[in-house]
Amino acid sequence: MHVAIIMDGNGRWATQRGLPRTAGHVEGAKAVRIAVEAAARAKVEILTLYAFSSANWTRPPAEISALMRLFGQYLFTETRRCVEQSIRINVIGRRDRLGENLLRSIEQSERSSAAGSGMLLRIAVDYSSQHSIMQAARRAGRDSELTPQDFHRLLHEVDHCAYPASEVDLLIRTGGERRLSDFLLWECAFAEFHFSDCLWPDFDERQFRSALEDYGGRQRRFGGLSVTH
């Protein structure tokens, strides 16, 4: 099963408490650990987290710097935990606009966890699904024999996907919004959506289990008859 999460609401969580937005991102990082461990316990095969969209570059420079430092710290502190739990790490998205130190941290985390045989944790950083689809289309050119599977492989190349990843089964978005925000548009073609009003720092294992239970009670038809899962 492939679960993807749009982790929304860090800034609002902090604002509601009279704290700087960066405090919300710090608390959000703690929620990431909870979600990763909950997903691993639930035997989720692939977990993709939307950490930083390409549109987020329009935020104030101080907030962007804080987010990038926090991401680097997360990789430093959590890679060992992932290795211990046999979780592989793969950062997807553009890398040409990331700092050298962060790039080294990403590469080190991916190498260190590559032998894991458990869940695949994908973290989307400087990610735009529209950009990825456009780049993959350019690589495809005028290939009239191209299949959806071939195009999916091109998307993997564009996004620095180190491992094959199936299409998304369940998309979770916190924070009360009801949109995809340029996240995994191709991969979510037949995904089930679960929207939660819970702000991301408050998203815990109970909330995660609730989303899985919601998904488990649905019938997936894929345009045809009911499919039991």
Catalytic residue among 10, 56, 101, 214: 56
3-state helix, strand, coil in the chain (%, to 5): 50, 15, 35
Decide if 56 is catalytic: yes
* Residue 35: CA count within 13 A, CB half-sphere: 30
Q: What angle do CA 111, 112, 117 make, to 5 degrees?
A: 95
Catalytic residue among 8, 126, 159, 169: 8
Query: For the residues of 202-218, what is the DSSP string, one character each?
Result: G--HHHHHHHHHHHHTS
Q: Which two tokens stand for residue 68?
A: 């990038």
Which residues, 6 or more positions from 150, have their beta carbon under 8 angstroms from its beta carbon? 140, 143
Does an H or E element contain 51, and which? Answer: strand 46-53
- DSSP lists the bridge partners of residue 121 as 47, 89
Decide if 8 is catalytic: yes
**What's the alpha-carbon Rg for the chain, to the nearest Å?**
17
Q: Which residues are catalytic?
A: 8, 56
